[in-house]
């Protein structure tokens, strides 16, 4: 399956930090594991190629990559006088907000706190290999699905320290218990507003405002969520002393947040 490459850049998406299971192969193609699925994606000659059937593309990956959304409207909304944001959008014009699986995002962002990207990836890889199901992709590639809540629910709270989670182990195990025993119903979040969903997520042990916002943005597609981490906070303090114009970007501030986040990590490496 291939599509025209319009406001889509798989490298930017992989580097925007919303997914921890996208990796670049030696041949430049990207491997993505999402929940229990696997796909290989690459770009060539103005097209993006998705190594899957048309049916699987329509059913899953099209939505996963948010391909029905026109991102130009978000980019065009940026105040031309705002030089910082204009530069950010220019650099990250191929970013998209993925539609990722809820449970996977809860655990991933529990792990992400006070942590660096390299270790986050390793942690997720560790728990997947140990507690996830081994799968074989249609092209023969072996991979591990993200572990289900049930697979983690019976562990001792510190058991995931063996997977390198450190003090976050108990956050993940307790949350897995709550989900597996029905105390916390994941499906119940989909029908909620951003504010309501965030309020529910904050009840989970280990989930604070920042992590809840990331889950809302990357799993529930609440694109008005605007996660504020240390990087974003510094940008707001440095470039928006008079206050960030949230009003102008009302309803899709999360998309703008991603442009900023990507820009902060990559503006010096181009």
Interacting residues with DNA (CB under 7 A): 16-18, 109, 112-119, 161, 164-168, 204-212, 214, 227, 229-231, 261
Number of residues written out for the chain: 270
User: CA-CA distances (angstroms) from residue 58 to 37, 47, 53, 119?
Assistant: 14, 17, 9, 33
The token pair at 166 is 């450190």
Element (H, E) at 127: helix 117-131
Nearer to DNA (CB atom), residue 51 or residue 92: 92
Handedness of CA 260, 164, 167, 143 (dihedral sign): positive
Lookup: tokens for 48: 């993006």
State the Cα–Cα distance between residues 209 and 173, nearest whole angstrom.
Answer: 20
Q: To the nearest whole angstrom, how small is the minimum distance from the Cβ of residue 53 to DNA?
A: 30
Distance CA 146, CA 223 (A): 24
CB of 227 to DNA, least distance (A): 5
The residue ranges of DSSP E strands in 98-235, in sequence order, are 134-136, 142-144
Q: Indicate the residue among 52 and 235 with the shorter CB distance to DNA.
A: 235
CB of residue 44 to DNA, shortest distance in Å: 26
Task: CB nearer to DNA: give 167 or 246.
Answer: 167
In Å, how far from its chain's centre is CA 247? 24
Residue placing its CB nearer to DNA in the complex, 1 or 161: 161
Q: In the complex, what is the shortest distance from the CB of residue 163 to DNA, in angstroms, rounded to a whole number?
A: 10
Least distance from DNA to the Cβ atom of residue 158, Å? 8
Q: Which is nearer to DNA, 73 or 203 (CB)?
A: 203
- For the bound state, the minimum distance from the C-beta of residue 197 to DNA, rounded and expressed in Å, comes to 14
* Count of C-beta atoms within a 10 Å radius of residue 232: 17
Return the number of the residue (135 or 210) whose C-beta is nearest DNA: 210
């Amino acid at each position: 399956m291939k599509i025209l490459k319009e406001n889509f850049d798989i490298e930017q998406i992989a580097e925007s930090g919303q997914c921890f299971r996208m990796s670049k192969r030696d041949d430049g193609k990207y491997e993505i594991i999402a929940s229990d699925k696997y796909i290989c994606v690459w770009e060539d000659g103005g097209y993006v190629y998705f190594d899957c059937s048309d049916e699987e593309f329509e059913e899953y990956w099209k939505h996963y990559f948010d391909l029905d959304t026109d991102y130009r409207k978000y980019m065009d909304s940026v105040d031309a006088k705002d030089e910082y944001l204009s530069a950010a959008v220019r650099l990250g014009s191929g970013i998209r907000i993925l539609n990722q699986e809820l449970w996977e995002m809860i655990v991933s962002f529990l792990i992400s706190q006070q942590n660096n990207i390299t270790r986050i990836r390793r942690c997720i890889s560790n728990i997947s290999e140990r507690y996830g199901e081994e799968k074989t992709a249609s092209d023969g590639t072996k991979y591990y699905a993200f572990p289900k809540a049930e697979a983690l629910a019976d562990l001792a709270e510190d058991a995931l320290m063996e997977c390198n989670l450190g003090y976050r182990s108990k956050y993940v195990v307790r949350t897995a218990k709550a989900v597996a025993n029905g105390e916390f119903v994941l499906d119940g979040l989909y029908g909620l507003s951003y504010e309501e969903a965030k309020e529910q997520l904050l009840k989970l042990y280990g989930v604070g405002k920042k992590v809840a916002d990331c889950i809302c943005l990357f799993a529930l597609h609440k694109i008005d969520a605007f996660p504020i981490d240390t990087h974003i906070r510094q940008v707001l303090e440095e470039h928006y002393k008079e206050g960030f114009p949230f009003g102008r970007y009302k309803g899709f501030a999360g998309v703008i947040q991603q442009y900023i986040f990507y820009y902060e990590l990559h503006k010096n490496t181009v």
